[in-house]
Structure 1
Amino acid sequence: MGGFDYLRLIAAILVVAHHARVLNGQPPLMLGSGLDPGALGVGIFFVISGALVAGSLERAPKTSTFLAKRALRIFPGLLVALVLTAFVLGPLVTSLSPRAYLLDPEPSGYVLRNLSLYAVTYALPGVFLAAPVAGIVNGSLWTLRLEFTAYLALAVLGAARQVNARTLAALAGLAAIVAAALHLSGLDARGDLFRIAHLAALNGFLFLTGAALHLGRVRPRLWMVLASLVLLATPAWFLGLPLAVLRLGQVDLPKPPADLSYGLYIYSFPLQQWLAEGRQLNLATSLALTLPFAALSWFLVEKPALRLKARLGGDEAPAIRPLASPSGTATD
């Protein structure tokens, strides 16, 4: 089913569009109260991930197999992106001499720490210091930590035989309460710890809701989706997103020849910083520079890794039925 593939690509482009503004030093374009294109794109990713990863766990209930498949989806592409950023892009753009840069231990530390997912670092020596948003090499990496933590949580629930729609819906409700409480109290704006807790709760809600909707075999009616979309203009936008994403993802579309969403996500930020430092950053230049890297990442790294996933057993096709008319032909 191709609906989710196209939604992932749209989500990645939303993130790229958001960064094309903020990395130029401009205020973000607001789509609603507290909702910008970057938050919407990341939110879409988490809903889709919850739905598809829950399906993967159903088909590969062995915890080690499940986690191995998740690792093969994240780490090969990430490793190559980190190495290219630290040892190809870094020497090209640093304010240091190439020799001083390469003798510095920080480029190697950048790769290793970010590859761990939990020791994320954003700086490389002398890199992007003249950019409007100075010194940050790849500000998109923080979400991968949340993503993999969600995988680990789902694996623990699976080992405890608690991966079911009811349990996940209850946990999603708890996450929504925490996210709303942090936001309404203003704590999410009072330091990094509360901000990280708010983002973890918010995106945890989206992931868990996507998983719960999949396991409950929910097929949203159009009126439900339209009603939920009204919430996108409010501070409770995240409550309305999962039904809309699931409905659109269930549309039966031809599968695209390549999934460029992950490559766009992990390569766009450093390349956009390069463009911003040269005062050449906009959405068109961002996509023109990043799409070739995303394509190479897919065909040379991610797709071969997916072949290894297939050898681990289990059907990797989404176990989500497309929306269809009574006669059996796809609608929408």
Structure 2
Amino acid sequence: MTKAAEEQEEGQVRAAPAPLAHDEPPAPVPADPAAPPATRKRLPRVESLTGLRWWAAFFVFTHHMTNLAPLPIYKFLKFGTSGVTFFFVLSGFVLTWSAQPGTKVRTFYRRRFARIWPAHAVALLAAVFVFYRIHPDPAMSWIKPFDVGILLLSVVLLHGWSNDPTILYSGNPASWTLSVEAFFYAYFPFMQRATVRLKTAGGLVMCVVVVALGGAYRLALYKWPDTVPVLPQPVLHSVAFIFGIGLAIALRSGWRPRFPFWLAFAIFAVGIYTLYYSGEHRTFPFATTMALTQKEILTVLYGLMILAVASRDMRGGRSLLRSRPLVALGQWSYSFYLVHATILYAIREFHGLAGPVGWSNLTWYAGVLVLSMFASWLLYKFVEHPLERRLRGPR
């Protein structure tokens, strides 16, 4: 990521680099004749991942709200943007877990288009009225001058290939992650075929190698900035996506790690707080290295949570994440992702900042959360879900 793009992550223009759970929870997978005996039976739905999606989306929401109603912990809440990493890992995991032998590439593409584009198009139309003006007010840094060419790039999900913030966060600023996902979808069928014979060891080696390569690139870019080329976002975030693929391969091949969710959550909590603390205290050991490889560290932390949840569901363990309210919220999470920042910045334009930093701003969090949840329910019920079913075609 360029320095300008990194600065955008801290600023208000980056209105929604939010989560990305464009894929439904893994469905039962038909028996694969080429699979070992342990995996020929139908794999169970990992429904808890749907509930987990909601919490990742909520984590992103808490960060974006600091641009309207900052809390005393706003510096820590900036890690809410790491929700995109969670969803990229989840996307690779889900697509691999639910991949069915014999699915044609064009069928896969049609279903992915049906999954993400209708809701994206409607949310983009609403976002244009919030984030664009013919003559924007310089005091409102999140509002950009109207540009048809740049907006068209966001319509067809190609804007993520630019590291220019004006293009990368064009249209609905959240949709830069959809551009990244579109790249994942483009190469997934071919990667799935290339890795179909990998088993547990191969999947885990894939996870280790891709994280090591991603971290090495970040460090090399820091050390030799004039020599190492800056890669576009879809390529950079492929580390998380491929990591998720490797995890799914390992589990599909019969690996059953007994890794309790509470331990995975504890490791995540300690890990993300360590990243925060090292960023605030540069004398902390390896602070610079952790800052540079933050995306790769978060990939591993989120991967452990997904692994723990999936393993528990496969063993039949109890899980609050499979409760009906959380599953419903998880189903709305993609629509929630698309609309919450648009609502937030529309409020800010007409009201201004809620007030100084303080815990009293929690009332704003509650109000905007309820409004965003209602809008996401409408988008899911009347656009996302029905149009996906119609456009997917026969199963």
- For residue 58 of structure 1, what is the aligned residue in structure 2? 100
Counterpart mapping for 1:285-296 below 5 A: 285-296=367-378
Task: Return 64-73 or 246-255, whichever deviates more.
Answer: 246-255
Matched, 1:270 2:342: yes
Partner of 2:307: 246
Residue of structure 1 equivalent to 2:117: 75
In the aligned structure 2, how far is the partner of 1:23 from the partner of 1:216? Answer: 47
What residue is the counterpart of 1:116 in the other structure?
A: 156
Once the two structures are TM-superposed, the CA of residue 182 in structure 1 deviates from its matched residue by 3.1
What do the CA deviations read for 1:236-261 (whole angstroms, capped 9, x no partner)?
A: 34223213223224365245346110
Q: CA RMSD in A?
A: 3.9
Contact 1:23/1:272, CA 8 A, preserved across alignment? yes
TM-score by structure 1 length?
Answer: 0.70
The structure 1 residue matched to 2:209, chosen from 170, 174, 177, is 174
Q: Which residue identity is paired with 2:299?
A: F
2:252 pairs, out of 211, 215, 240, with 215
Matched, 1:44 2:79: no
Q: Give 1:90-101 correspondences, 5 Å limit.
A: none
Cα distance between partner residues in 2 of 1:286 and 1:59: 44
Query: TM-score, with normalisation over the residues of structure 2?
Result: 0.61
Paired residue secondary structure (1:58):
coil
Query: 1:209 offset after TM fit, Å?
Result: 3.4
Matched pairs, number: 291
SS in 2 for 1:308: helix
Q: Residue in 1 aligned with 2:181? A: 147
CA contact 2:97–2:249 (8 Å) conserved in 1: no
SS at match of 2:353: coil
Q: SS of the counterpart of 2:237?
A: helix
Counting only pairs closer than 5 Å after superposition, residues 301-312 of structure 1 correspond to structure 2 as 301-308=383-390, 311-312=393-394
Residue 61 (structure 2) pairs with residue 16 (structure 1): yes
Is it true that 1:279 corresponds to 2:361 in the alignment? no
CA distance in 2, matches of 1:24, 1:181: 37
What's 1:156 paired with? 190
Q: Residues 300 and 212 from structure 1, CA distance in 2 versus in 1: closer, same or farther, beyond 3 angstroms?
A: same
- Whether contact under 8 Å (1:55, 1:215) holds in the other structure is yes
User: For residues 102 and 51 of structure 2, what CA distance do their matches in structure 1 show?
Assistant: 25
Contact 2:151 2:170 in 1 (8 A): no
Alignment partner of 1:203 out of 229, 236, 240: 240
| 1:81–1:267 contact (8 Å) kept in structure 2 | yes
Give structure 1 stretches of 5+ with no counterpart: 98-104, 125-134, 314-332
Contact persistence 2:260–2:308 (CA under 8 A): no
Q: How far does residue 4 in structure 1 lie from its aligned partner after superposition?
A: 1.4
Gapped regions of structure 2 (runs ≥ 5):
1-44, 138-144, 275-289, 291-296, 355-360
- Alpha-carbon offset, residue 118 of structure 1: 1.3
Correspondence for 2:280: none
Query: Which of 30, 34, 51 is residue 6 of structure 1 equivalent to?
Result: 51
